Amino acid sequence: MESLPDIGLKQLIRMVPEKDVIGMDNDFFIIHVRFNDNLMILRYPCRCNAYIIMFCNSGEIDVEINLNTYTVKSHTMLVSAPGNIIKVVNDPDRSSLNFTVLAVSSEFLSSLSFDLKKLFNDRLNVLADPCFHLTREALSLCNKYFSLFNSLLKTDSPDRKRAIGSLMTSFFYCLSSRLEEPEAGTVTPQYALPSSTVRANLIYRHFISLVAEYHTSERGVAFYASRMGLSPKYLSKLIKQVSGRSAPEWIDAYVILEAKNMLKYTDMSIKEIVYRLHFVDSAVFHKFFKSHTGMTPLAYRNS
């Protein structure tokens, strides 16, 4: 599969007022976000090539990651890994919204030989449920570390980058051991799976992982069923039963996400997007996009 465009931290930071951001090069940023009518951060779905860790201080906000929606409330943390398609759902009624974002490039973490995704997966499954409740102790710890990060970011020490890397490693190791399982009502995935069997859930997650990998070139259920050793009919029935969406609906939804990401965050022409997403021609893509969004691709790009 061809790699699709990601946005970097530099582009992400442009979505936030300059006064609300403090950072180091294009590797590490702390963003303080408060609700306002012009809140632009992640308003449109985008694939970001960085780790985004949100800490909600007050209010609540809906965050969509790979088509699942999570309600992030006070005293919760959400972790999004590179490659995820993420969107913040804007709600004008949430005037008390106040949250802090750590944005860290994957290259910076790699230079520290530090695998954030693995660290959290050793304790909780961040891929299955990326939103966690923070204990009082963890919340207090976050505030202390944020204060230290801010102090370091304001210095001009030649060892600043190394110091921030060491502090960040310490922060995540300490934090990951102080997380609690999500409380009832804290996290609201778009589709809950408690009534399905363990095997059905495993098949569903396998299907979604395959769709995430191949949706730009494979839009037929038969392809995915074949990869999983199942019949298309059985796979479709099971996916609908587990998630509430049919298999074709999931595939189409991922294609729409990619199209939106490419329309908003790249300067590729419609013709090039049609080619990258393996549509027969522009007319077919135009019809597909409008039937799912109510807008033409060009109208969406200009919105």
Place of tokens 């060491």: 166
- pTM exceeds cut of 0.95: no
* Per-residue confidence in pLDDT tens, the chain, 303 aa: 455 556 777 777 777 777 788 889 888 999 887 765 455 677 777 788 888 888 888 888 888 887 788 888 888 888 888 878 888 876 545 567 788 888 888 888 888 876 666 665 554 455 456 787 888 888 888 889 988 998 999 988 889 999 999 998 888 878 776 665 444 444 344 444 444 577 888 888 889 888 988 998 999 999 999 999 999 999 998 999 888 889 999 999 999 988 998 898 888 999 999 999 999 999 999 999 999 999 999 999 998
Report the C-alpha gap between 74 and 58 in whole angstroms.
5
Give residue 192's pLDDT.
42
pLDDT of the residue at 119: 62
Please check whether residue 34 is in contact with residue 98, taking contact to mean a CB–CB distance below 8 angstroms: yes
The region that residue 238 occupies, defined by phi over 0 for left and psi between -120 and 50 for alpha, beta otherwise, is alpha
* pLDDT reported for residue 44: 77
Q: Three-state DSSP class for 115?
A: coil
Query: What confidence score (pLDDT) does residue 124 get?
Result: 45
Check residue 220 and give its pLDDT.
Answer: 94
What's the pLDDT at 129?
A: 66
Strand order in the sheet with 85-89: 46-47, 85-89, 60-65, 68-73
Whole-angstrom distance, CA of residue 61 vs CA of residue 74: 9
The encoded tokens of residue 118 equal: 């693995």
**Exposed, middle or buried by CB within 10 Å (0-12, 13-18, 19+), for 240?**
middle
Task: Say whether 198-302 and 9-180 share the same fold.
Answer: no
Locus of tokens 């060009």: 298
Q: Does domain 198-302 have CATH number 3.40.50.720?
A: no
- Which pair of tokens denotes residue 16? 């936030």
- The model's pLDDT over 162-203, given as tens digits with 9 standing for 90+, comes to 999 999 888 887 877 666 544 444 434 444 444 457 788 888
C-alpha to C-alpha distances, 175 to 77, 134, 208, nearest whole angstrom: 11, 9, 29
pLDDT tens readout for residues 18-33: 778 888 988 899 988 7
To 10 degrees, the CA torsion angle through 183, 61, 18, 156? Answer: 10
Closest alpha carbon to 65 in 41, 90, 47, 92: 47
Q: In the chain, what are the domain boundaries?
A: 9-180, 198-302
Provide the CATH topology of domain 9-180: Jelly Rolls (2.60.120)
